[in-house]
Each structure stands twice: as C-alpha cells, then as structure tokens.
C-alpha cells in the first residue's frame, strides 16, 4: 500500500453523525480515503457499482433495503466486492446472514478505532476479520436447527404479538397449520412458550422489531 494507491472506502450507514465520524476516522488514516457515502441500501448498491471502492463499510439496518440484501445485490453484479459489516446487531442470525451474503468481516460499532482500520486493511488484502465473540455466535448458528421460511414468517408474527388466528389470516393458512409451525419452531429454538420464542428470536437476530419482511 502506498500513498499513490490509497484504499478507497465507501461508507453506508443511515445515521449522518455515524457517517461523519467514520469518514473522519478513515480520512485520518494514511493510505485511506472515503470515495462515497450512502444513507440507504439502495444508495449503497448504486454508489458501490459506480465507484467500485476497494472496501465497503456497511451497516445492516437502513431504511428500505437492508445491508444484507445490499451486499447480495452488489456481489451479484460485482463478485469481487469486499465488504466489512459494522453494526450494533450481534445476534448469531445477523452474523450468519451477513457472511453468507459475502461479507468478509463482521464488526460491532463499539470496535476500537485501530481494530476497525486494521480490519479494513485486512479485507483489502483479501483476508477475513471475524472477532472471537462473533465467531462464537456464528458457531452457535451453524449448529442450531434451521427454521424454514414459513416458520420464520410465523415467528415474526409471534414477535409482533399476533394470535394463532391472526397469524393464520395473515399467512392464509388454517389455525391447525399455525399450531403445527409454532410447535416446530418452539422445539427448534429450545423454548417452551411463545414469550420465550419471541425473546430468543430478538436476541439471536432472527427477527428485528423495526423490520418488515425477513431478509433471506
């Protein structure tokens, strides 16, 4: 890495103050520069494909298209895109979805400045950066029984406080079928009731209270 060939970084985060801070951190590092900033997933996709930065610094939760879907869309057109996820979400499902989409590093927003910059440089070199705590979350997800798409739909509605009758109406299935899915997801989550299912879903990142349909 030389001053003549800086690492070009795109920052995608919906909070202006966060973008400002990250831009200052990256800009202060010799051999790095910010080439674009995005406030939404759609903007991140467009700017990434336009500028082709060396590293994309991507939040997971943004208005409209989330970070996971943005990563998928970028890499479907540009498979060589190198992405560092920087988020507040540390659930095992969040980690799994991001890495499955193609992220090469997964960091939390309380990561020290030096570690963040080192991760950007590592990803630029083609390496991965998964901190031990995040790797443990990923291991938990890989060994856990996977929920089906329908079970995830039911779980999202359980978290929203819907009854079996309301879930059936929303998904156009009978109450008996809803009960079947509820029993299956309770067993897979290792919990005994709907309340624990909801808290487990939120803790693991299977469902987020501020999101619409689940990203897959």
The CATH code of the domain at 7-142 is 3.40.50.2300
Region 149-204: CATH code? 1.10.10.10
**Tokens 């029984």 map to which residue?**
145
**Whose CA is closest to 9, among 17, 27, 130, 18?**
27
Tell me what pLDDT residue 115 has. Answer: 96
pLDDT tens digits, 4-44: 589 999 999 999 999 999 999 999 999 999 999 999 999 99
Q: Sorting pLDDT into bands at 50, 70 and 90, what band is 214?
A: very low
Task: Output the CA torsion sign for 52, 53, 59, 63.
Answer: negative
pLDDT band at 142 (very low <50, low <70, confident <90, very high): confident
Confidence category of residue 204, pLDDT binned at 50, 70, 90: confident
pLDDT, tens digit, 9 for 90 and up, residues 61-110: 998 899 999 999 999 999 999 999 999 988 899 999 999 999 999 999 99
Same fold, 7-142 and 149-204: no
Q: Are 58 and 44 in contact (CB under 8 A)?
A: yes
149-175: pLDDT as tens digits: 999 999 999 999 999 999 999 999 999
Domain boundaries, the chain: 7-142, 149-204
CB 103 within 8 A of CB 120: no
How much is the pTM? 0.79
As a whole number of angstroms, the distance between CA 93 and CA 204 comes to 6
What pLDDT sits at residue 143? 81
């Amino acid at each position: 890495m030389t001053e003549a060939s800086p690492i070009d970084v795109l920052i995608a985060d919906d909070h202006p103050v966060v973008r400002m801070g990250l831009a200052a951190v990256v800009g202060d590092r010799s051999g790095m520069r910010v080439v674009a900033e995005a406030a939404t997933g759609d903007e991140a996709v467009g700017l990434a494909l336009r500028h082709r930065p060396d590293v994309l610094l991507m939040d997971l939760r943004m208005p409209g298209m989330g970070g996971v879907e943005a990563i998928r869309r970028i890499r479907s057109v540009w498979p060589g895109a190198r992405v560092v996820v920087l988020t507040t979400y540390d659930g095992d499902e969040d980690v799994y979805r991001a890495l499955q989409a193609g992220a090469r590093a997964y960091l939390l927003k309380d990561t020290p400045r030096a570690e963040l910059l080192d991760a950007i440089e590592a990803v630029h070199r083609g390496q991965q950066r998964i901190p031990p705590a995040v790797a443990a979350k990923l291991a938990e997800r890989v060994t856990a029984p996977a929920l089906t798409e329908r079970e995830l739909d039911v779980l999202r509605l359980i978290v929203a406080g819907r009854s079996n009758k309301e879930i059936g109406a929303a998904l156009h299935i009978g109450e008996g079928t809803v009960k079947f899915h509820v029993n299956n997801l309770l067993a897979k989550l290792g919990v005994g009731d709907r309340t624990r299912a909801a808290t487990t879903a939120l803790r693991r990142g299977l469902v987020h209270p501020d999101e619409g349909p689940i990203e897959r």
